[in-house]
Structure 1
Amino acid sequence: MAEHYGTAIIPRTPKDKAFVEGSVGVVSTLILAALRNRQFLSLDELNRAIWEKLADFNHKPFQKKDGSRASDFEEEKLFLLPLPPNPFELAEWKTATVQYNYHISVDRMNYSVPYEYIKQKVDVRLTGSAVEIYFCGTRVASHLRLYGRPNQYSTLKEHMPPEHTAYLQWNSERFLRWASSIGENTAAVVRVFLTAHKVEQQGYKSCMALLKLSDHYSVVRLEDACRKALTFSPSPSLKSVQAILKSEQDLLQTEDVDPESVPQKAHRFTRGAECYRRGKK
């Protein structure tokens, strides 16, 4: 508090206590005692009466020196500092560990920290309106304090790792536009991913993984794999598309290969018809 108001706290001697208590006694006698028999009908009326008596007390001449409390204050007022723009807030300090999702949990709320500090212990300063996070004495993050429903998240984009930031640049419209540029079957699979969860954003990871498949395989093969997956199920999964591409099942359709012309591998335990002819052991 002293740092906030630009002042210093200096311990006083026991003799100063009597001086302060003496001033309290004088104020009680000249103000409170003078008003003890008056009746007030509102708090404002009482405060006005106290201010009047306080003005009289401050302008009352000193007994042992010239001047009054009011005249002394006029001289000292020139050395007073202006008040800070924001009032002082009581703060509570806590210690937290940055989790793998680059957030800390304080009072059942979650606040983001730059991902470089994952697994590090940080100091957290809590006030009524803000949460400040310090590492080795340096503030690394600041958030407005969350209230209400537990387990809320306050996440800043600049705290995210690059791969997480990429998700913010995508939405359902962009995913569908990209999928439609490849083909109607790829767009159909993306629609399945986007509608498979209660929250649309939960399907972004699968859509992004499907997008990455076009880097490893051609867009033609991806479209054919999606077509093949839709023949198996109206709601194919990402794994089914990946399995089709990995096993090259999409190439059978792309190259118009007759499945019957593909040689079938005999099972190693199959004996064949010759073993069952009569007269042969």
Structure 2
Amino acid sequence: MPYQLVGRTVDVRITGDVLTVFDAGEHVATHHVTGMRGAYVTDTDHIPPNMTDTRGLWTSEYFLREASRIGPATKEVIAGLIAQKAIPAQAYQSCRNVLSMGKRDKLVLEEACRRLIDTNGAQRAVSYTAVKNMMAAVRKDHTTRPTGTTTTTRDTTTPAFGTAPVPARDTRGAYLGGAAQFSLENLTKKGPTK
């Protein structure tokens, strides 16, 4: 809506993907409705001119400064959230939500953000939900995935080698199952036929 009509009751007509706004029967605005849930469709001409004065309001600089206190990956994710929106203020609630998830564990938030941006050239969507899901994955990796231990063994057949460390196995990407997974019945069972 044009800012001059704030507080007024208007009529709205939706035809296909076009939303038309009428004030007292006069056409005042037209928008194309996006199919994306939660997306903003804003005409920058509808913003009041005093919105350039951001004293006392959230700003992009504020969120970037807060994110840099957590780490460089978090700052990059926050910058990505802001860059995705035509009007930066539309990203501020998502930025606030992402930063609030790091209040309890900044290291998990930073690791989740690092994983989101470290895609070896592939573009990954950055959103509050993506960060939240990645944080859950990071927590799961830290609590449920054993990484093995480095043990020391002695080779008794060749005393010249003495003690040799056995490297630890990295099982972070492995599917881990219990002893029942390797029972004779389970191993010989045929899978579903197609």
Highest CA radius of gyration, 1 or 2? Answer: 1
TM-score normalized by the length of structure 2 = 0.48
TM-score normalized by the length of structure 1 = 0.35
Q: Identify the structure with bigger relative contact order (alpha carbons < 8 Å, sequence gap 6+).
A: 2
